[in-house]
């Protein structure tokens, strides 16, 4: 009989790239711009969609915003950090698109560690402006020497994420 693989361990080092875009627009205006470009559905509902591949894709498309993304979850850190004396509006978004994710997962299932992607919308100290921070998806998804198909798909995701953020923060 073959040996088990349950007692083996691999370690992979990688470096993520974090980007921060500053905006002179208010937190509310940037949030409204994000919401206008992103559809919404919960991950539970995505997983629960029935039907064939074509039916699944059709159902997903109904929730995709013009950015190509869907908001799956929002965590309002600002609501709980105020209990610790921190007064800052701070929203974490988990967003993506299963039809984009599959372009990477089909080449390396471990891309699922970083798809969907995330961003953090933070109000400035004076409350007059804000910034968006996110990690460039390909910097997490693609390990050095990874296959070119995975790299290409992840870089396409990078471009979509950057376009969404820039459209939200630019005056």
Using left for φ > 0, alpha for ψ between -120 and 50, and beta otherwise, residue 127 falls in left
Contact 27, 123 (CB under 8 A): yes
Map out the domains of the chain as residue ranges.
Answer: 18-169
88 token code pair: 């800052």
**Neighbouring residues of 120: CB distance < 8 A, sequence distance ≥ 6:** 90, 91, 92, 93, 132, 133, 134
What's the confidence (pLDDT) of residue 86? 93
Name 22's bridge partners. Answer: 131
What's the confidence (pLDDT) of residue 18? 97
Instruction: State the Cα–Cα distance between residues 19 and 14, nearest whole angstrom.
Output: 16
Instruction: State the Cα–Cα distance between residues 30 and 28, nearest whole angstrom.
Output: 6
Could you list the mean pLDDT of each consecutive 10-residue stretch along the chain, which spans 171 residues?
68 90 97 97 92 95 97 97 95 97 95 96 95 97 85 96 98 88
Quote the pTM value: 0.91
What's the confidence (pLDDT) of residue 7? 78
What's the confidence (pLDDT) of residue 1? 44
Contact 114, 141 (CB under 8 A): yes
18-169 belongs to which homologous superfamily? TT1751-like domain (3.30.310.70)
């Amino acid at each position: 009989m073959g040996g088990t693989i349950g007692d083996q361990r691999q370690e992979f080092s990688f470096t993520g790239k974090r980007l921060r875009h500053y905006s002179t627009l208010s937190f509310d205006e940037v949030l409204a711009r994000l919401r206008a470009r992103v559809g919404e559905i919960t991950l539970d509902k995505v997983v629960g969609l029935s039907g064939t591949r074509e039916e699944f894709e059709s159902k997903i498309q109904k929730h995709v915003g013009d950015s190509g993304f869907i908001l799956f979850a929002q965590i309002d850190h600002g609501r709980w950090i105020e209990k610790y004396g921190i007064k800052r509006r701070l929203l974490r978004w988990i967003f993506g698109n299963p039809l984009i994710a599959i372009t990477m997962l089909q080449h390396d299932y471990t891309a699922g560690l970083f798809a969907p992607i995330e961003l953090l919308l933070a109000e400035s100290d004076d409350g007059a402006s804000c910034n968006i921070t996110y990690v460039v998806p390909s910097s997490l998804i693609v390990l050095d020497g990874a296959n070119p198909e995975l790299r290409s798909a992840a870089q396409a995701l990078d471009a979509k994420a950057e376009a969404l953020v820039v459209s939200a923060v630019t005056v």
